[in-house]
Amino acid sequence: MNLLVVGASYRTAPVATLERLSVSTADLPRILDRLLAQTYIGEAVVVSTCNRVEIYAAVSGFHGGLGDVCAVLAAEAGCSPADLANHLYVHYDEAAVEHVFRVATGLDSMVVGEAQILGQLRDAYHVATEADAAGRQLHELMQQALRVGKRAHAETGIDQAGQSVVTAGLEIAANRFGGSLSDRPALVIGAGAMGALAVATLTRLGLGSIAVTNRGADRASRLAEAYGATAVAFDDLTVALSTVDIVVTATAAIEPVLTRETVAAALARRAANGSATPLVLLDLAVPRDVDAAVAELPGVLVVDIDRLAADLADGPVATDAAAVADIVTSEVAAFLTWLRGAEVVPTVAALRARADEVVTAELRRLAQRRPDLTDEQRADVAHTVHRVVQRLLHSPTVRVRQLAAEPGGDQYTALLRELFDLEVPNTSPVEAVPDIAPRVSLPAPGGDR
């Protein structure tokens, strides 16, 4: 089995496309089941966040695996694979490992160094584990990715250099208020992980009164209590909007939470109360919480993932990004060494099993030819024959493990299977990966646009 990553992110797709691809937490087990039902996919993990949707898969063939993943993504998005082609990136084997490690360390994030992605990867891995969708390869890949992410944040200053998406959005909002958000009243819609991050960030930045609302009132109350904020009823959303200057919304709703009518009603109340300050809506949800028509209302600034990506594209790169990149490079090399060594294990096991079969058959024939041998004599002969076989196999099996761990080592594994005519399921040699554009019009493996 080989590793394959297929995905779309803020780098390659607009929010509208990410919305179509987005997978809710509740739907993850169903998508995983659908992926595993495909012919070429043996393991799968699905990562769906506000700015990326990615499938990590262990596949038995590149073209077949890619076709299977694209078919599932297209079906979920309600379109054809060709419609998605220009928005997808593909990474295979070594490039797949490097991509996952870059994601885990925050190097591939919209805001370099942000740490939320580690939690999102951990959650995706947990769901895949619960669904029995992650096998040996993806278990190892995800565990190592989480470790590498933690190492990068522990050994470099990327935590200080990297912001959260919330912080980046609030910096844009601050420009609307003369560069400062101090004492500005704010509302957070949503009490999940991103909502909690928003409340924590708003509190740290010293904003004024902070309100929290959520369809589930209990979660809103617990989050508000943890940060000294105020919980408001979701049914009172229009009233709450009319009393704040900044709104951060990050729910898991599949339809817009803030419609044009709701925001217009809130603006009317603000005007009636004599407020002339702008209303900034920071939409961190995918699918979007803010209806696109809201941006047309006077006095409203909508900052969504598309706007963040555009504003941050030319932003400063964290000074420690190079150090993190070095960590990723070394960790990728270590993981590939492990992976190549692991791939030869089933072949070595099959060789030893074949040797045991031969020894057992010969000992059975000896017992038929020499029925006069005592049990003790038979045991001595069996022990001696087994020792001879094991000693003969020891050096070549140790050496093939060493050779397999080196670049191009899969050829030695393939040669061993060929020489001894071994049947080893799911250990076919890594197939060559030519340019796949003529087949499915996608970027070549390893190309991240």
- DSSP states of 157-184 as a string? SHHHHPPPHHHHHHHHHHHHTTT--TT-
Q: What pLDDT shows up at residue 433?
A: 33
**Residues 381-425: pLDDT tens digits?**
989 988 898 888 888 877 777 777 666 666 777 777 788 888 776
Looking up tokens 């904020």 gives 229
CATH 1.10.3720.10 matches 165-312: no
The ranges assigned to domains in the chain are 2-162, 165-312, 337-420
pLDDT in tens, 288-311: 899 999 999 998 999 987 777 766
- Residue 232: other Cβ atoms inside 10 A: 21
> What distance in Å separates the CA atoms of residue 385 and residue 360, rounded to the nearest whole number?
10
Question: Does the structure show a pLDDT above 80 at 46?
Answer: yes
Indicate the pLDDT class of residue 434, thresholds 50, 70 and 90: very low
Residues marked active site are found at 50
Q: Tell me the CATH number for domain 2-162.
A: 3.30.460.30
Is a pLDDT exceeding 70 seen at residue 427?
no
Whether 440 has a pLDDT exceeding 80, the answer reads no
Q: Retrieve residue 112's tokens.
A: 């370099």
Q: What is the pLDDT of residue 70?
A: 94
pLDDT at position 117 is 87
- Tell me what the pLDDT averaged over the chain comes to: 84
Closest CA to 306 of 123, 172, 187, 113: 172
Question: How many CB atoms are closer than 10 A to CB 94?
Answer: 17
Give whichever of 112-121, 227-236, 251-260, 331-340 has the largest mean pLDDT.
227-236
Mean pLDDT for the stretch of residues 156-174: 73
**What percentage of the chain exceeds 90 in pLDDT?**
39
* Per-residue confidence (pLDDT) for residue 420, from 0 to 100: 81
How large is the average pLDDT for residues 191-200?
A: 85
DSSP state of 365: H
Which pLDDT belongs to residue 311?
65
Sheet holding 279-283, edge to edge: 230-231, 210-213, 186-189, 246-249, 279-283, 300-303
0.75 exceeded by the pTM? no
Torsion angle, alpha carbons of 364, 366, 371, 373, to 10? -110
pLDDT at 348: 79
- pLDDT, tens digit, for every residue of 248-290? 998 878 889 999 999 999 999 998 888 888 899 999 887 889 9
Instruction: Report, as an integer, the average pLDDT of 363-390.
Output: 89
Confidence of residue 59 (pLDDT cuts 50, 70, 90): very high
